[in-house]
Amino acid sequence: MSFLTLESVSKSFGANTVVKEFDLGVRKGEFISFLGPSGCGKTTVLRMVAGFETPTSGAITIDGEDVTMLPANKRRIGMVFQAYALFPNMNVYDNVAFGLKINGMDNAAVDRRVRDMLDMIALGHLADRYPYQMSGGQQQRVALARALAPQPRVLLLDEPLSALDAKIRLSLREDIRKIQRELGITTVFVTHDQEEALSISDRVIVMNKGRADQMGTPSEIYNRPKTRFVAEFVGTLNMFDARVADAGANRLNLAGRDIALPSSSGAALRNGETVKLALRPEAFYLDAQRPDDVPLEGRVQHMGFHGSIIRAKVTVGEQTVTIDMFNQANVAMPSVGEPIKLYFSPADALVLAA
């Protein structure tokens, strides 16, 4: 039984439908991410859950209660915004205490709860600071504590890390996940950063033009994308044109070579049709791993050093292929201009409708 559900929720602004028949079920304590390009409707879905927008059609329930028409201040939902949105006239303590006082909690209990929350985000020593006296990362932690203080039923975060610099973004997202796990709070996290979504979520929903293209665990989304959009939006892909030689036996023809695919590689095949064969950069090897690996011949065009990995561009025929190799200091790497052989396993290939 899902704790938070959206049933074919749609939202139009005038003639512009920005969320279309959106279905979602989030289990209690689950951490869900909405991932998608700018303007695909992530924020709009989140705002409907929060109660800041009313769906044009469809229903939203929390813990079995239909909240579709419930005003935002009655929903008991915690919200964290990209721009922190701390109350500028209040110090850290009062910001965190706001929701508790509004709900009529007595002073002693407020004090205990605020101290607990500040300890949780490790900012107890800054209780007297005002928002303008703090860094963005500190402000966002306070915003998180403020949202969680009144023990909301659901926590919503709309690109909470986008305004922060890379290092803080990384550490804060781990903090958010850790706190979320400890409290067991049902969470929806919005981001357009795929690495962020894949690294902290139980499940990811990839959104495209107001629809959920695919919902799944991070590894399902990355390794088994269901649509071309998901495959291209998440991670890097190399695409090859291949002709279907025998649809029944899952055999393709790639540049004169016969390839047998495992049965679960994606789109349905039809004889004679041209399809796209997609491969992740890390699916290529410089040596054959298995007997049925497919070899390609190419020439190194560029070697990019990224620390733990090396991302090379290799010209194969008329195409440039991106490949990732582990950086192993004691293994000789190919050099630019050198001809090399690449291998990939047909099992790693994804078939996308052309």
Partner 1 sequence: MKRYPAFPTLIVIAASLYFLVPLYATFDFSLRMERGVLSFAAYRDVFQSDTFISTLTFSAVASLVAILLGALIIVPTAYWVRLKLPRVRPLVEFLTLLPLIIPPVVLVFGYMRIYGNNSFLPLTTTDPGTNLLLVIGYTVLSLPYMFRAVDNGMAAIDIATLTEAAESLGASRFAIIRRVIFPNVRSAIMAGAFLTFSISLGEFVMASLLNRPAFGPYLVQMGQDYAYQPAALAIMAFVVTWASMALMQVFATRKPGQRFLPRMPRLSTFAPRRVQS
Ligand X SMILES: Nc1ncnc2c1ncn2[C@@H]1O[C@H](COP(=O)(O)OP(=O)(O)OP(=O)(O)O)[C@@H](O)[C@H]1O
Q: How many residues interact with partner 1 (rule CB under 8 A)?
A: 34
User: Is position 51 an interface residue for partner 1 (rule: CB under 8 A)?
Assistant: yes
Q: Does 52 bind ligand X (CB under 6 A)?
A: no
Nearest to 325, CA basis, from 300, 346, 349: 300
Select from 9, 31, 32, 43 the one that contacts ligand X (CB under 6 A): 43
Of residues 125 through 184, those in contact with partner 1 by CB under 8 A are 128, 130, 132-133, 143, 146-147, 150, 152
Give the three-state DSSP class for 7: strand
CA distances from 216 to 29, 199, 230, 308, 335 (A): 16, 13, 11, 28, 39
- Cβ distance to partner 1 smaller for residue 133 or 271: 133
- 54 scored as a contact of ligand X (CB under 6 A): no
Using CB under 8 A, which of the segments 45-53, 229-237, 249-257, 259-267 binds partner 1?
Answer: 45-53
x-or-dash string of contact with ligand X, 163-192, rule CB under 6 A: -----------------------------x
Residue closer to Mg ion (CB basis): 36 or 152: 36
Question: What DSSP letter does each residue of 305-334 carry, written as one string?
Answer: EETTEEEEEEEETTEEEEEEEE--TTSPPP
d(CA 54, CA 49): 9
Distance CA 222, CA 42 (A): 19
Q: Decide if residue 43 touches Mg ion (CB under 5 A).
A: yes
Size, binding site for ligand X by CB under 6 A? 11
Question: What is the C-alpha separation between 183 and 158, in angstroms, rounded?
Answer: 19
Distance CA 248, CA 263 (A): 10
Cα 160 to Cα 316: distance, rounded to the nearest angstrom: 41
- Told to check if 238 binds Mg ion by CB under 5 A, we report no
Q: Which residues bind partner 1 (CB under 8 A)?
A: 50-52, 71-79, 81, 83, 85-91, 98-99, 102-103, 128, 130, 132-133, 143, 146-147, 150, 152
Q: Which residues bind Mg ion (CB under 5 A)?
A: 43
